[in-house]
Amino acid sequence: MSTRIETLNPDTTTGKSKELFDAVQNKLGFIPNLIKVFGNSPATLQSYLSLGELTASGNFSNKFREQLALAIAEENSCNYCLSAHTAIGKMNGLTDEQTEESRQGRAADAKVEAGLQLAQSITRNRGNISTEEIQAAKAAGYNDGDILEIVLNVVSNTLTNYVNHIAETEIDFPAVEAGKFAVNS
């Protein structure tokens, strides 16, 4: 594959990256191209996988974490992550309309929408958000711990967004392009 950072072949990879590839293969049934890129640095791959475990152990549902991933990927214009999280979001109950609303920081549920908008603002403003934005999130039902978990999701997803931008990772999910929407809501 022609990417700017090598996409490793799991059949010829050895050492710690091979161990991590095998764990991903056992969990997902395949090894996404992003993981094959991350494998160039076992420490970075392990960090990514650990961040995924940490976000999964938090208070947010899989569905909401996918909505956050979509909102962050759209904000960062990461087509690989938009493609991956559109597919994963469907597996977690997101409709096409919910997927596209999430990408735009919108949701039928006011609390979910406030969380998506906070995540996008944190991403867009590199963490420099206003007191009013924090107060709006709290008014929508988020507590301090929830706000920090949103930050954790931003960090985890931004890592993948940036790696995909740098590597120009080949998309191995049905392709979705930032800024283009099929559902008008």
For 82-138, how does the pLDDT look when each residue is reduced to its tens digit (9 = 90+)?
Answer: 999 999 999 999 999 999 999 999 999 999 999 999 999 999 999 999 999 999 999
Kindly state the tokens that stand for 76: 């960062």
The whole-angstrom separation of Cα 65 and Cα 168 is 24
Q: Is the pLDDT score of 184 beyond 90?
A: no
State the residue for tokens 């944190």. 122
Axis-axis angle for helices 15-28, 42-56 (nearest 10) = 30
Note the pLDDT of residue 3: 78
Contact 83, 90 (CB under 8 A): no
Contact 122, 150 (CB under 8 A): yes
Percent of the chain with pLDDT over 90: 96
Residue 182 binned pLDDT confidence (cut-offs 50, 70, 90): confident
Is the pTM for the entire model greater than 0.85?
Answer: yes
Contact 120, 72 (CB under 8 A): yes
The whole-angstrom separation of Cα 12 and Cα 21 is 11
Q: Which domains does the chain have, with CATH numbers?
A: 61-167 (1.20.1290.10)
Contact 24, 49 (CB under 8 A): yes
Q: Tell me the pLDDT tens digit for each residue of 68-83.
A: 999 999 999 999 999 9
